Structure 1
Amino acid sequence: MHGPALSGWLLMVLCGVAGAYCLSRAHHGTAEERSAARAEAVMGLGMAAMAVPAVLFTPPPWAWALYALLFGGAAVRALWFLRRGAGRPQHLHHLHHLVGSLAMVYMAAAMAPGAGGGGHAGHGAAATAGGVPLLTGVLLVYYAVYVLTSAGRLIPATATAGGPKPGVFRGAQPELTPACRLTMGIAMFAMLLTL
């Protein structure tokens, strides 16, 4: 990504950990939970790969086309599940995956060498931001709202009759899933800021 190497390292680590956690969830739960975990693992690990700082690895020019194909496939998969699950509770989750996958295709295209955006962070001294400002702005607003609403759901509600209700971090593994999704939303917002 464009921007300081430290932010690239932080994004890489956060997305890598979130992606690895989602991959570990892909073996447990219902078929729908495993499917969602696989989609989130692809997103997290793909975001980690795109955020690798240039000082660690300089991707070949074709890597951006590979990212676009990977996330394009993820978008088609999300669209398929969105179409199949219309009216079900997971409908919004599939829509979020579709938006995220398309945003990653957009970022891969904007970061590709010769796309007017310069390429990977730190590659070339004259790398400038790329992308369509209006589309980037719309995606930034979407992810800002997503992060704020997701963070609000992580805060435990106070019971009127007594102390606080148990929060999402009760120690059970499924409760980390919303925090993982929030982390990837924050990372996506940060990646969009660097375009």
Structure 2
Amino acid sequence: MVKGCSLSQNGSSSFPDPLLYRQLVGRLLYLTNTRLDISFVVQQLSQFMASPMINHHKTLTRVLRYLRGNPGQCLYYPENSPLHIKAFSDSDWATCPDTHKSISGYCTFLEDSLISWKSKKQTTISRSSSETKYRALALASCEIQWVTFILEDFQLHYTQPALLYYDNNSVRYIATNGVFHERTKHIKIDCHVVRECLQKKLFHLLPISTHD
């Protein structure tokens, strides 16, 4: 997807073959089971299945050209891997031009093996960037909890806390500080989800460090 491109329901004429558009997007949705690199753009394209526009189809064909030129992208799972969960989470804020909703995203690793990922539009409009990012953090927290339960079901005893990396200082303060937590009653459920996981030592919340 072109950097900075924001797909909208307006801005161009209707695509003459909506059925073709739906079929192609449906196939791309299936492909996201193994291709993390197209998850975001497919999430964007799937919003316009009812009435696609010309610019939506242009973005779709760009994705198809990208896939044709990069067929070797794949996931690698070594035979032996330590049971250490690591996750990365992020979000934008109100970037949807039609609804002003935000997008949450995360990816989860078992040591160096990528095992789950998601790009999803949030169900409600957030009044601040911190609220948006906290909702994304809650989504990633639930995913870590689910992966931990899966390991337990396979009788793989996971003892050390996972590592959840996030790049927003205010969100980390809210998660670990009870005073900040009380100031965020409009996102009360998400606050409780993340705070409960931290109190159970399910994961450690760490900043994302950048290296030159």
Tell me which protein shows more strand as a share of its residues: 2
Tell me which protein shows more helix as a share of its residues: 1
Fold in common (TM above 0.5): no
Scaled by the length of structure 2, what TM-score is found? Answer: 0.26
Higher relative contact order (CA 8 A, sep 6+): 1
